[in-house]
Amino acid sequence: MLGNIKIVKRPPNMTDTLNAIPLHNRIGKIVTFAAIAVVLLKAILALPDMLTTFVVSRDSDDIMRLMSIRSWQDGQSWFDMHQYRLLSPEGVSIHWSRLIDAAIAGLIGLFALVMEPQNAEMWGIAFWPPLLLIAMILVVSRGTQAVMGGWSGALAVGSVFLWGATGGMYFEPGRIDHHNVQILLTTIAGFALIQSGPPIRQGCIAGLASALSLAVGLEGLLVIAMFGLILLVRAAYDKAQAVSLLVAFCVSLLIGAFAFFVAQTAPRNYAALVCDQLSVPVMTTAGISVVACLASLALRRWITSPVVRILIVGVVAVIGILLAHDLLTTCFVGPYGQLPQNLQDLIANTIIETQGAFVSVRLYPAEINLLVTPIVGAVVAGAIVFYNETKRGALTAAQSSAITQMLVIGTLGLVGVLLQIRLAVMAAPAVGFLTGFVLSTLLAARAHQRSGRNSFMLIVAIFFTLLAPTLNAPAAMISNLRSSPTDMAEAGRPVVAEAECLRPEVLETLNNLPSARVFTSLGMGPPLLLLTHHIGLAAPYHRSATALSNGFTLFSGDEAALQAAMNDVAANYLVLCRGTRQGREDSFASSLAMGEDVTWLSAITDGVSDKLVVLAVTP
pLDDT in tens, 59-100: 889 999 999 999 999 999 999 999 999 999 999 988 889 999
Instruction: List beta partners, residue 616.
Output: 573, 602
Under 8 Å between Cβ of 301 and 273? no
Do residues 422 and 535 both lie within one domain? no
Q: Are residues 505 and 595 in the same domain?
A: yes
Are residues 445 and 352 both part of a single domain? yes
| pLDDT of the residue at 358 | 62
Q: Which of 461, 490, 507 finishes a domain?
A: 461
| Same domain flag for 434 and 582 | no
* Residue 19: pLDDT over 60: no
Tell which residue, 158, 210, 217, 216, has the closest CA to residue 185.
Answer: 210
Q: What is the pLDDT of residues 483-512, one digit of tens each?
A: 443 333 333 344 456 888 899 999 999 999
- Within a domain: 119: no
Q: Is 485 contained in some domain?
A: no
**In this structure, is residue 123 part of a structural domain?**
no
* 352 and 211 housed in the same domain: yes
| 349 and 456 within one domain | yes
Phi, psi of 583 (to 5 degrees): 75, -125
Cα gap 602→612, rounded to integer Å? 14
Distance of CA 550 to the CA centre of its chain: 26
Report how far apart, in Å, the C-alpha atoms of 407 and of each of 59, 380, 538, 607 are: 31, 9, 42, 58
Residue 550: pLDDT band (50, 70, 90) is confident
Confidence of residue 419 (pLDDT cuts 50, 70, 90): confident
Examine residue 333 and state whether it is found in any structural domain, yes or no: yes
* pLDDT recorded at residue 17: 55
Boundary of a domain, candidates 400, 432, 461 = 461
Mean pLDDT to the nearest integer, 21-30: 72
How many domains does the chain fold into?
A: 2
Please report, to the nearest 10 degrees, the dihedral formed by the alpha carbons of residues 143, 147, 151, 156 taken in order: -40
Q: Same domain for 388 and 523?
A: no
Q: Are residues 389 and 503 in the same domain?
A: no
**448 and 504 assigned to the same domain:** no
Together in a domain, 454 and 528:
no
**399: in domain:** yes
Q: Can you give the pTM of this predicted structure? A: 0.90
Residue where a domain terminates, one of 410, 437, 461: 461
Mean pLDDT of 442-464: 82
- Residues 222, 160 share a domain: yes
522 and 603 both lie in a single domain: yes
Asked if pLDDT for residue 474 goes beyond 90, the answer is no
Q: Is residue 82 part of a domain?
A: no
Q: Is residue 117 part of a domain?
A: no
Least confident interval from 47-56, 252-261, 340-349, 439-448: 340-349
Domain span at residue 7 reads 2-40+130-461
In a domain, 483, yes or no: no
DSSP 72-109: HHTT--TT--EETTBSTTT-EE----HHHHHHHHHHHH
pLDDT beyond 80 at 5: no
Helix (H) or strand (E) holding 573, with range, is strand 573-577
Stretch 175-198: mean pLDDT, rounded?
94
